[in-house]
Structure 1
Amino acid sequence: MKNILLHGLGQTSSSWNNTVASMENKLDILCPNLFDLLQDKEVSYANLYQAFSEYCTELSEPFNICGLSLGGILALEYVIKNPTKVNSLVLIGTQYTMPKGLLKFQNIVFHLMPNRMFTEIGLGKKDCINLIKSMLDLDFQHELQKITCPVFIVCGEKDIANKKASLQLSKQIPNTEITFIKNAGHEVNMEAPKELGQILNTFLDRTNSRF
């Protein structure tokens, strides 16, 4: 069964390398570079979700999805809209109702950052700012009950911005587990890759055994 790992904004597919190194069944792990999926389309959340949805149509079903931050939001929407296609879901540092104040502040920071700091993620400064703007009104709060697959919520203990949302997700989605990883912030896949890999191994072994 395929396992799709979706990176966050400011990351690339290589951000999963150390986590994957600690995981089993590596041949079944897919780490798409999200912004490459867009090809020549305008950078917006709607286009990114559509591109990811099209990517999934090429895969045998069901599959597992693990997403961090932006990747988690894409995974969350996909599972809500395609509940029978996903075997299990892992959400890391993920919001389900966009914190508009935080996102607007992030865009202010982006405006102040030099262009060269965006080149490593394959997304320009203007594109990053536009992507954030296109996400401001996202709200999945009233659709969480549609999720029927097993869900694991992961959050870094130091990820203050996403702790509350993680706790709320664990209460509102049926059949959900949650854990907080000590000494890790938001980018759990890079700050605690070995521990995250072990968590994913245990969870995926259990959920894959349903088939």
Structure 2
Amino acid sequence: MRQVYIHGLGQTASSWEPVLHLLGAPESSVCPDLAKLVSTEKITYPLLYHAFARLCDGLEEPLVLCGLSLGGVLALHYTVEHPERVGALVLIAPQYKMPKRLLQIQNVLFRFMPPAMFRETGFAKAQFVQFCGSMMDLDFSGALSRISCPTLVLCGSRDRANQRACRELVQRLSKAELRMVAGAGHELNRETPEKLAPLLRDFYARTLQGGNHP
């Protein structure tokens, strides 16, 4: 199975490097830089998702999608639309229905942050604000029944903003399991790669039988 690792908003593809190193991920693994998938100045969630979907469509199936935060939303969205192409799913601190109030608060905070803080992500400040606004109405609640592949949902014990959504998601998916990562916050790939890698390795070993897993 082809493994695809999708980073969160505010991260880059390199955010996965410590995890992939510890995991011993196959060289065939794909880790896209989301900011480079969309070539236009206008960045919205629909534009990014369609670019991500084109990337996945061009890969040999079945896919293993592993996404954090925004990456988890993209992975969930693609699996809902193409369940036959995804063999396993890892969702780290995902939301299946966007918390509008949280996004609104984030947008207010972004507006007061200096532009320099956004440069390393590949997105400009204005693009960040515009992008978050474009996600407000996302809601996959009515389509989760389409997902039948094994799913691992992960959340840090200190990531209180996403714990409820993670627990609800596990209840709504037929083959999902939840693992809480003790002492960790939101960005598990950056904060605790040494804890995340073994959880992924165990999940792959149990679910990718006969596949190409570490």
Regarding TM over 0.5, the answer is: yes
User: Kindly, what percent of the aligned residue pairs are identical?
Assistant: 41
- Cα distance in 1 between the residues matched to 2:195 and 2:23: 10
Q: Deviations over 1:124-179 (max 9, x none)?
A: 00000000000000001111111010000000000000000000001011111110
Unaligned runs of 5+ in 2: none
Superposition deviation, residue 210 in structure 1: 5.4
**Partner residue in 2 for 1:171:** 171
- Would the aligned equivalents of 1:41 and 1:47 in 2 still touch at CA under 8 Å? no
| 2:107 is the counterpart of 1:100 | no
**1:143 aligned counterpart, secondary structure:** helix
**Partner residue in 2 for 1:202:** 202
Q: How many residues align?
A: 211
What's the TM-score, normalizing by structure 2?
0.96
**1:183 aligned counterpart, secondary structure:** coil
Amino acid at match of 2:31: C
In angstroms, what is the RMSD of aligned CA positions? 1.0
- Cα distance in 2 between the residues matched to 1:42 and 1:162: 28
Amino acid at match of 1:78: Y
Amino acid at match of 1:189: N
- Cα distance in 2 between the residues matched to 1:84 and 1:188: 28
| 2:183 is the counterpart of 1:183 | yes
Superposition deviation, residue 13 in structure 1: 0.4
- Cα distance in 1 between the residues matched to 2:25 and 2:17: 14
**1:27 aligned counterpart, secondary structure:** coil
Superposition deviation, residue 41 in structure 1: 5.8
**1:155 aligned counterpart, secondary structure:** strand
**1:9 aligned counterpart, secondary structure:** coil
**Partner residue in 2 for 1:135:** 135
- Cα distance in 2 between the residues matched to 1:162 and 1:185: 10
Unaligned runs of 5+ in 1: none
Amino acid at match of 2:200: L
| 2:14 is the counterpart of 1:14 | yes
